[in-house]
Chains A and B, each alone.
With several copies, the nearest count.
Chain A
Amino acid sequence: MIDKTVSSLEEAVAGIFDGATVMIGGFGIAGQPAELIDALIAHGARDLTIVNNNAGNGEIGLAALLRARRVKKIICSFPRQADSQVFDALYHAGEIELELVPQGNLAARIQAAGAGLGAIYTPTGYGTLLAEGKETREIDGRHYVLEYPIRADFALIKAFRGDRWGNLVYRKAARNFGPIMATAATVTIAQVGEVVPLGALDPESIVTPGIFVQRVVAVPGLAQARVA
């Protein structure tokens, strides 16, 4: 019998190695797997490359991981926010590397990794600073930038419900990057508000089929995002 559920957050993040690339779901705090991030901090892996839309909010979650000095580089679209003080300080001190990627290119590059494409010609960013030095091509009168897949060793995501085969459904706008990151990581680790019996999720409505998920951990009572 296949059971991808693990019984603790420690077990969920086991094996995340120094220097790993780790995708972390969420758009702000919606969909951010805060408890998995806390477990990753406790786990201790360092020199991580993190892929997330943002670079941490407030002092919890991704911001706490940054503050613990575990992150060498962050690949994101929108680091600067009203409450991104942890990232801001590290960046100004030259203690973190930033690869800034337009949000749609971030999504498309993650999807390209998940779908096995070698590269894509994307319209976004052409003629801007963020395409400097990149190969471009005119196709049917429009200009495109060549962008490469973003893969990860691990993805930490948050879903609403999951089952022992790793099937997942999400809740409202907390879906965001979860489903696409799940496709692009070697090991996808999902925290779910509830583990349900096999067959309880409607096969027409499963958003992430279990093929993309290696570990599921229940974080009960936290179906909604934790507010800082």
Chain B
Amino acid sequence: MNRLNRNQMAARVAQDIPEGAYVNLGIGLPTRVANYLPADREIFLHSENGLLGMGPAPAPGMEDPELMNAGKEPVTLLQGGAFFHHGDSFAMMRGGHLDICVLGAFQVSAGGDLANWHTGAADAIPAVGGAMDLAIGAKQVFVMMEHLSKSGECKIVPFCTYPVTGIGCVDRIYTDLAVIDITAHGLLVREMVDGLDFAELQRLTPVPLTLAATAATTVAA
């Protein structure tokens, strides 16, 4: 089958972000989604450190240490963008003003619980940042992650075994194999990659799946 690579996953998520959406892209893999947003759509990127209308990385040599994204990488501000303080920035998240946030994950449960901040390892230093605020704040929470962990276990699970970030907060999962909605009636498979059949996807996924009547084949970018 044509498993998506990480850039293809980012491109696939980008397709679903409509013009005019206010969007926060989490640190790590989700940040790449910005590279694939269609140039003909005006989309508003929010960064929790106080930016709305975040633009691409600056040209080399033009970096400004006071103009960074939440991952502390240099960015720019588009014309029409705005700066604000952390209180206002998190009011945007927690008050339900963001349309979409895209987060990475260790696990997502059948009920939409998200685990992405802590491995639970006894000697790990916990760090949460804005993950819990994003998880519960945006109107729609998209997760992007590999379907299987490096050791081959499915990251979609009946119940999270890692400490959760938020309860029942995930709306849609994008993996390298499929696009899956979390609905009141369970997990609904919207798309699968070319060459993957539903039975095989279900075999890999320890949670009951339903194939959407309109299910499509993912077209890799």
Contact = CB atoms under 8 A, between A and B. Distances in A.
Contact of A211 (B87, B97, B113, B132): B97
Given A2-B20, A104-B130, A30 B68 contact: yes
A183 B52 contact: no
Interface in A52-104: 53, 77-81, 84, 87-88, 91-92, 98, 100-104
B182 interface: no
Nearest to B167: A127
A6 B63 CA distance: 32
Contact of B86 (A92, A107, A129, A211): A107
A174 interface: yes
B146 to A, nearest CB: 22
B61 interface: no
A77 B127 contact: yes
B136 interface: yes
Kindly state the interface size class of chain B when it binds its partner. Answer: 35 or more
Interface in A88-134: 88, 91-92, 98, 100-105, 107-108, 110-111, 113-117, 122-130
A31 B80 contact: no
A167 interface: yes
Interface residues of A, number: 75
A210 B87 contact: no
B82 A102 contact: no
In terms of DSSP, what is the predominant structure of the interface of chain A?
loop
A165 to B, nearest CB: 5
A116 B94 contact: yes
Contacts of A28: 68, 72
B16 interface: no
Interface of B: 19-20, 22, 42, 44, 46-53, 64-68, 72, 77, 79-98, 113, 118, 123-133, 136-137, 163-167
Please provide the 3 A-B residue pairs with the shortest distance between their CB atoms, ordered closest to farther: A199-B79, A104-B133, A116-B94
Interface of A: 1-2, 27-31, 53, 77-81, 84, 87-88, 91-92, 98, 100-105, 107-108, 110-111, 113-117, 122-130, 143, 163-165, 167, 170-180, 183, 198-199, 201, 203-204, 206-207, 209-212, 224-227
19 contacts: A27-B50, A30-B49, A53-B86, A78-B127, A80-B125, A81-B127, A124-B94, A128-B163, A143-B167, A172-B67, A174-B66, A175-B83, A177-B85, A180-B85, A201-B80, A203-B77, A209-B82, A209-B88, A224-B64
